[in-house]
């Protein structure tokens, strides 16, 4: 009986070690995922990490002559968003083998997991309660300090 228990514990420990090794391998693969995307006009190139962090930005000299600052900023943001969408798909492919079969890796990476649209919607605005703290009974509507 003690030998059975010891064997079960050893199996559990071995399974735990395998899981940790697998998790470490996935983390290393995710850390290595990078995507570089160039804008359609070739004026901007960005590189992002698997988490969507901007790692590199290259702006062609012609961009400063061809685009106004706001247009260049919008191009950088758009190109970064495109690269982030692409890197999220790649990171999802890295994660998929270690996730339960019914888990959407892209949703997990976006932080939405299995939440519905209603659960992700911001809460409705709450009207502030009216306060009568700074009003006197003698002057209705006055905000003068009654103290």
What is d(CA 84, CA 49) in angstroms, rounded to the nearest whole number? Answer: 8
Q: What is the pTM of this model?
A: 0.64
Q: What is the CA radius of gyration of the chain?
A: 27
What is the pLDDT at residue 23?
81
Q: Residue 104, Cβ neighbours under 10 Å: how many? A: 14
Is residue 141 over pLDDT 70? no
55-103 pLDDT per residue, tens = 999 999 999 999 999 999 999 999 999 999 999 898 888 888 888 887 7
What is d(CA 42, CA 58) in angstroms, rounded to the nearest whole number? Answer: 10
Are 107 and 114 in contact, with CB atoms under 8 Å apart?
A: yes
147 vs 10, higher pLDDT: 10
Domain ranges of the chain: 33-114
99-134 pLDDT per residue, tens = 888 777 877 777 777 677 777 788 887 777 766 666
| Topology of the domain covering 33-114 | Ybab; Chain: A; (3.30.1310)
Are 32 and 86 in contact, with CB atoms under 8 Å apart?
A: no
């Amino acid at each position: 009986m003690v030998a059975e228990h010891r064997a079960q514990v050893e199996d559990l420990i071995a399974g735990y070690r395998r899981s940790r090794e697998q998790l470490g391998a996935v983390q290393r693969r995710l850390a290595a995922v990078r995507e570089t995307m160039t804008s359609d006009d070739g004026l901007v190139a960005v590189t992002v990490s698997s988490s969507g962090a901007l790692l590199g930005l290259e702006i062609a000299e012609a961009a400063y002559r061809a685009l106004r600052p706001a247009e260049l900023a919008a191009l950088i943001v758009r190109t970064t968003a495109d690269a982030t969408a692409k890197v999220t798909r790649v990171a999802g492919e890295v994660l998929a083998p270690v996730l339960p079969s019914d888990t959407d890796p892209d949703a997990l990476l976006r932080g939405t997991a299995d939440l519905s649209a209603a659960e992700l919607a911001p809460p409705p605005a709450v009207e502030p309660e009216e306060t009568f703290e700074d009003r006197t009974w003698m002057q209705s509507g006055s905000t003068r300090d009654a103290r």
